[in-house]
Amino acid sequence: MLNLRDYQEEAVEAVVTEARRGVRRQLVVLPTGAGKTILAAALSQQAHGRVLMLVHRDELVQQSVEKFGYIWPEQSIGVVKAERDEHDRRVVVASVQTLQHKRRRDRLDKDEFSLVIVDEAHHSPAASYRQTLEDLGFLPDPSAGRLLLGITATPMRGDGIGLKGVFEKIVYRRSISDLVRAGYLADVKGIRVRTTVDLRKVRTVRGDFQAKDLSLAVDTPRRNEMIVDAYRKHGEGRRAVAFTVDIAHAQHIAEAFREGGFRADWVSGELPIEERRERLRRLREGEIDVLANCQVLTEGWDEPSISCLIMARPTKSTGLYIQMAGRGLRPYPDKDYCLVMDVTDNAHDICALGTLDGDDADFANGRKTGPLDGSPAGDKEEPGEIVEGVQVVISTMDLLARSKFRWRIERQRMILEAGPGQEITLEEVDQDLWSVTLRRGRDLQLLTERPLPVSYAQGVGEDYVRANQLENYAARDAAWLKKPVSEAQLDLLQREFNIAPPRGTTRGEAQEIIRRAFRDRSLNDPNAPWRQDPASEKQIAWMEAHGFPVPPGFTKGDFSDLMEGLRSRGRRRRA
* pLDDT surpasses 70 at 384: no
| pLDDT of amino acid 147 | 96
Between residues 130 and 511, which one has the greater pLDDT? 130
| pLDDT of amino acid 139 | 93
CA 379 to chain CA centroid, Å, is 23
Average pLDDT over residues 409-429: 83
* pLDDT surpasses 60 at 506: yes
- 357: confidence class by pLDDT, cuts 50, 70, 90: low
pLDDT tens readout for residues 14-27: 999 999 999 999 99
The mean-pLDDT minimum among 267-271, 328-332, 422-426, 452-456 falls in 452-456
- 190: confidence class by pLDDT, cuts 50, 70, 90: confident
What does the alpha-carbon distance between residue 134 and residue 167 come to, in Å, rounded to a whole number?
A: 13
**Buried b / exposed e along 449-479 (16+ C-beta atoms within 10 A):** eebbbbbbbbbbbbbbbbeeebeebbbeebe
H helix count then E strand count, the chain: 18, 23
CA 96 to chain CA centroid, Å, is 24
Measured from the Cβ of residue 304, the count of other Cβ atoms closer than 10 Å reads 23
| Mean pLDDT of the residues in the chain | 81
If you average pLDDT over each of 164-168, 217-221, 404-408, 426-430, which comes out highest?
A: 217-221
Dihedral sign of CA atoms 161, 162, 163, 168 in order: negative
Question: At what angle are helices 36-46 and 59-71 packed, to 10 degrees?
Answer: 60
What does the alpha-carbon distance between residue 30 and residue 152 come to, in Å, rounded to a whole number?
A: 6
What does the alpha-carbon distance between residue 431 and residue 452 come to, in Å, rounded to a whole number?
A: 10
- 566: confidence class by pLDDT, cuts 50, 70, 90: confident
| pLDDT of amino acid 256 | 96
The mean-pLDDT minimum among 148-157, 159-168, 220-229, 469-478 falls in 159-168
Q: Judge if the upstream peptide bond of residue 155 is cis by omega within 30 degrees of 0.
A: no
- 570: confidence class by pLDDT, cuts 50, 70, 90: low
pLDDT tens readout for residues 367-383: 333 222 333 333 344 44
| pLDDT of amino acid 1 | 61
Exposure of 352 by Cβ count < 10 A (0-12 exposed, 13-18 middle, 19+ buried)?
buried
Average pLDDT over residues 307-327: 87
Measuring CA to CA, which residue among 288, 287, 244, 252 is closest to residue 269? 244
What does the alpha-carbon distance between residue 246 and residue 211 come to, in Å, rounded to a whole number?
A: 7
Sequence-distant (6+) residues with CB within 8 A of 569 are none
The mean-pLDDT minimum among 11-15, 271-275, 543-547 falls in 543-547
What does the alpha-carbon distance between residue 5 and residue 2 come to, in Å, rounded to a whole number?
A: 9
What does the alpha-carbon distance between residue 114 and residue 138 come to, in Å, rounded to a whole number?
A: 9
Measuring CA to CA, which residue among 158, 255, 234, 224 is closest to residue 192? 234
* pLDDT surpasses 80 at 38: yes
8 A C-beta contact, residue 532 and residue 553:
no
Dihedral sign of CA atoms 151, 154, 158, 164 in order: positive
| pLDDT of amino acid 238 | 94
Measuring CA to CA, which residue among 90, 64, 61 is closest to residue 76? 90
Q: Mind giving me the DSSP string for 187-213?
A: -EEEEEEEEEEE-TTS-EETTEE-HHH
Measured from the Cβ of residue 425, the count of other Cβ atoms closer than 10 Å reads 20
Q: How far does the chain reach from its first CA to its final CA, in angstroms?
A: 55
- 353: confidence class by pLDDT, cuts 50, 70, 90: low
% of the chain residues with pLDDT over 90:
28
What does the alpha-carbon distance between residue 414 and residue 430 come to, in Å, rounded to a whole number?
A: 15
Measuring CA to CA, which residue among 306, 268, 245 is closest to residue 454? 306
* pLDDT surpasses 60 at 166: yes
8 A C-beta contact, residue 379 and residue 353:
yes
- 522: confidence class by pLDDT, cuts 50, 70, 90: low
* pLDDT surpasses 90 at 193: no
Helix or strand run (H / E) with residue 221:
helix 221-234
| pLDDT of amino acid 473 | 87
- 344: confidence class by pLDDT, cuts 50, 70, 90: confident
Question: At what angle are helices 6-20 and 36-46 packed, to 10 degrees?
Answer: 50
| pLDDT of amino acid 356 | 62
| pLDDT of amino acid 395 | 47
Q: Quick one: three-class SS letters along 280-301?
A: HHHHHCCCCCEEEEECCCCCCC
- All structural domains of the chain: 6-174 (3.40.50.300), 182-397 (3.40.50.300), 407-518 (no CATH), 532-574 (no CATH)
Sequence-distant (6+) residues with CB within 8 A of 27 are 121, 149, 150, 151, 152, 155, 163, 167, 169, 170, 171, 363
Average pLDDT over residues 418-442: 85
pLDDT tens readout for residues 242-293: 999 999 999 999 999 999 999 999 999 888 888 988 999 999 888 999 999 9
Sequence-distant (6+) residues with CB within 8 A of 468 are 418, 419
% of the chain residues with pLDDT over 70:
85
* pLDDT surpasses 60 at 180: yes
If you average pLDDT over each of 182-186, 194-198, 228-232, 499-503, which comes out highest?
A: 228-232
Measuring CA to CA, which residue among 11, 36, 27, 15 is closest to residue 330? 36
Sequence-distant (6+) residues with CB within 8 A of 412 are 427, 428, 536, 538
- 146: confidence class by pLDDT, cuts 50, 70, 90: very high
* pLDDT surpasses 70 at 494: yes
The mean-pLDDT minimum among 31-45, 225-239, 363-377, 414-428 falls in 363-377
| CA distances for 50 relative to 46, 115, 147, 148, angstroms | 10, 7, 11, 13
8 A C-beta contact, residue 252 and residue 224:
yes
What does the alpha-carbon distance between residue 8 and residue 169 come to, in Å, rounded to a whole number?
A: 18
The pTM of the full predicted model, rounded to 2 decimals, is 0.67
Helix/strand/coil for 147: strand
Measuring CA to CA, which residue among 267, 274, 235 is closest to residue 249? 267
What does the alpha-carbon distance between residue 424 and residue 465 come to, in Å, rounded to a whole number?
A: 9
The mean-pLDDT minimum among 17-31, 80-94, 284-298, 387-401 falls in 387-401
